[in-house]
Amino acid sequence: MSLDAPIYVAVRALLSRLTLARYSKLDMLDANITSRAPASSALSAATWSGARAAMLDTIPTSYAHFVALFGSSATLAFLANNAALTPAGFATWAEGSGALVELTTLLSQPSAAAVIIGAPKAITAIAAHAGAMEIVASSAVAMTALVASSAAVATVTASTTAMTALYANPAAMTPLITNSRSLSAIVTSSTAMVALSANQVAFSAFLAYVPAMLSALGSATAFPIIVASSMAMAAVAANRAAVAACFDSMSIRTAIWDSTVACDALLGNSLAVSQIKTDYAVSGATASAINVVLSTKKCILLSMRSTAARTATAGVVQLPTPTVTTTSSTDEDKLVRVDTLTLRVVSGGPATVTYCVMS
């Protein structure tokens, strides 16, 4: 076979495809090539101006502004989706330049805040970091997300670091104590209550909200912590409703009597003493020089005096030793605890005491 045969075959095949219609289209190739990219859809000086070209250079800055407003999706993924996230790893990240600022931005966005606070590893890490919890406490959006999550509330109320940061911000107290979920978690968490009882401002705000105050005073976890804290009891003594709630309950009164800290705080507050006298006091008296047992229960002695026209010498005793004595015909605040209250008039008389039964 001739070597020209393949070429012949190829050329023949090409010529057989070149029909008259195709020949005519080849003649129009130069004239109509622009129809493949019509000028109406092509860039022109009017469309592609120098100003628009310059805008390309602003993309990095615009992106930075976007991140500042809405937070970085990469950071959101790091906090919410990183299975290896630990408190130590979070702390290292938080020390980086701008990290906490970016966290602040993310926690200001409802959707991002809900995702971050709802992620167990993220909220555990944040609860262990004072700076991060301060950001949560200062953000109404973040606090809303926090109290909406049972798991997040449980994690936070178990962390002294977290609760200390929350209690330090008055704005954070309202969502914490007005939400039944978080309030219940606080009063049943010894960690949360110890931190609360150490902050008098926060505890006063807590007591000012009656449902919170009643919840704490009725809690087997919370109340022993309160009566053991001089700071917490000072706040109780300064709150009329709290004093009333305490003394309306015999079990709470007994617990107060059993706590020197609680008694000292209450009896060291003149307004509290006046309230106890007005609302809960009982009077007992003798008519002559005799020992009279006024109560076999635990009592707080509020005041005593001689009631005779002439001065009498009277004493309240826990036999056999007198506890306090007076020769005055006007009320004298004595403010002592007496277990079995006995009034003795040595001479003259009569005499009377005002006291509150504690148990």
pLDDT at res. 67: 44
Cis peptide before 350, with omega less than 30 degrees from 0?
Answer: yes
How much is the average pLDDT of 129-154?
Answer: 95
The pLDDT value given to residue 353 = 85
- pLDDT score of 65 more than 50: no
Confidence of residue 189 (pLDDT cuts 50, 70, 90): very high
pLDDT at 82 over 90: no
- How much is the pLDDT for 343? 80
* One-letter amino acid of 340: T
| Mean pLDDT across 66-77 | 59
Order across the sheet with 313-318: list the strands: 282-286, 351-357, 291-306, 332-347, 313-318, 321-326
Rg of the chain (C-alpha set): 41
% of the chain surpassing 90 pLDDT:
46
Express each pLDDT in 91-115 by its tens digit. 998 898 888 988 998 898 888 899 8
Per-residue confidence at 282, pLDDT binned at 50, 70, 90?
very high
**Residue 231 CA neighbour count, 13 Å, CB half:** 12
Judge contact between 264 and 229, C-beta under 8 A.
no
Compute the average pLDDT of residues 234-252: 92
What's the start-to-end Cα distance of the chain, in Å?
A: 127
Q: What pLDDT was estimated at residue 294?
A: 85
Reported confidence tier of residue 309, pLDDT bands at 50, 70, 90? low
Residue 322 clears pLDDT 50, i.e. is over it: yes
Between residues 102 and 27, which one has the greater pLDDT? Answer: 102
* 159-185 residue pLDDT tens: 999 999 999 999 999 999 999 999 999
Q: What is the mean pLDDT of the chain?
A: 83
pLDDT (tens digit per residue) in 337-353? 888 888 877 776 678 88
Q: Lowest mean pLDDT: which of 25-39, 57-71, 154-168?
A: 57-71
